[in-house]
Structure 1
Amino acid sequence: MSFGTLPNALVVIAVVVVVLARRLSWSELENSDTDVWRGPLLLTGVGIYQLYDRHTGLGVVDVVLLVIGTAVALVAGTASGRVAQVERRAGKVFFRLGLPGLGIMVAYLVIRIGLAGVGHLLGASVSGGPALMVSLGANLLTQSLVIQSKARRDAEEYSTR
């Protein structure tokens, strides 16, 4: 690991820890939803910027690994969002991932880190930090979209009772 990838690794680890801790406990889903979207959008944006800034020519292996990593992120985000628990309390919506969601997130992270290792072995130039940031951001954005959809659907059901 070079000195340049160490900050990326630390950012990814810090974001994973904060997001998992926050999403495992009950959190209010605000009306504006900015709290749910801000972190994933920022993470994705930084990852895309770093990919663009550092790598002007992507090889076939790079593109294949980015596509696979994004596909795995989208599937895991959808799955963890579907198993997330959504509750209505005093007119407010709360959500958390729970243990099934944690299991899906851990499996996703293991697969994604494995892809980074494969990319490193194959000589891919984007297998590290920026690709991990984009993938994790895509995962969390998808998860947020599914959770918000569940919350809206549950709110509509609750209001028609």
Structure 2
Amino acid sequence: MGARITLVRGDITTQEVDAIVNAANSTLLGGGGVDGAIHRAGGPAILEACRELRATMLPDGLPTGQAVATTAGRLRATHVIHTVGPVFAKREDRSGLLASAYRESLRVADEVGARTVAFPAVSAGIYGWPMDDAARIAVRTVTVTSTDIEEARFALFGDEAYEAFSRAVQALD
């Protein structure tokens, strides 16, 4: 049903996969963290494709929990799948939106014919989602979502993220 999950410690921009998922902001015009790294490594073709999306299909930006694909520019992947994760809020349960960001990324990956996808820890950086909870939602969602993706690779920057995702994968067993 779901994709085989693998974990790697490292830079998502160096992954050799069919599609790299970008933890984007709704403007799709670049930013910090993973988003900035992907735009820098992939070069101007990604930003150009995002500007085209904004000028045509997404004049108001990409809604939280949704995903869209562009070229990957100079990256080793063929596609970048941009998804907008929710900002963490203690007083409001936004976990459904975070799960949707992963589900929609897999749906778009299927649409573009990808078989291998690299994910970052969506919403767990500047958007403040607690790492253990972000990992649990990500791993569970990718595991239960019906997809043609063969490998869902989580490319995790730093020990905290890698260890949290390792615990989430072990909890599935």
Indicate the structure with greater helix content.
1
- Structure with higher Rg: it is 1
* TM-score normalised by the chain length of structure 2: 0.30
Using CA pairs under 8 Å that are at least 6 residues apart, name the structure with larger relative contact order, 1 or 2. Answer: 1
* TM-score normalised by the chain length of structure 1: 0.31
Indicate the structure with greater strand content.
2
